[in-house]
Amino acid sequence: MTKWGVFSLSQFPDQSRRVEAFDDDLRFFELGEQLGYDKAWIAEHLFSTYGVVTSTQVYAAAIAQRVKKMRIGMAVVVIPFSHPLRTASDFALIDVLSHGRLDMGVGRAYQPHEFAGLGVPMDKSREMFNEGLDIVLKAWTERRSATRASSGRSPSCGGA
């Protein structure tokens, strides 16, 4: 059976209306659930009005409290922008709070201004992505893992 979802990039050009705009966006997901859609998709972008969700973790948790049946999908979680153990533990908690309705899509990002704004070297994003994703997966699947990325970003992790 085909599954259908709704996606919001959360574009709010009028920054003076952010509170109302996020409220409207959350109601959009509630309406999607009422209409029978199966999934709520969200994206992460930084330093622009082209998508103003700066933390898919926070927004996914908010959506999980507003919809009770829809799965919640990330399009995407940018692995190089966060500590991989924080990413693993935050999304593990959201999965629990949503009663197992979390689908986590991952990526590297592509906009130079986002890398520059965070001080993350864009030319290292592939390496950081590969190492970070490995650490996230190990945190979710191994009881105790002494994993350290070659970038030095990751101390030992313990079953997030």
Q: Which domains does the chain have, with CATH numbers?
A: 5-122 (3.20.20.30)
CB atoms < 10 A from the CB of 67, how many? 21
d(CA 106, CA 80): 10
Which pLDDT score is estimated for 13?
73
Mean pLDDT of the chain: 89
Pick from 16, 75, 10, 21: nearest CA to 49: 10
Provide the pLDDT for residue 10: 86
Terminal-residue alpha carbon distance, the chain: 33
Contact 118, 130 (CB under 8 A): no
Low-confidence stretches of the chain (pLDDT < 70) are: 144-160
Contact 145, 139 (CB under 8 A): yes
pTM: 0.84
Question: What is residue 12's predicted lDDT score, i.e. its pLDDT?
Answer: 77
The tokens describing 71, both together, are 């799965």
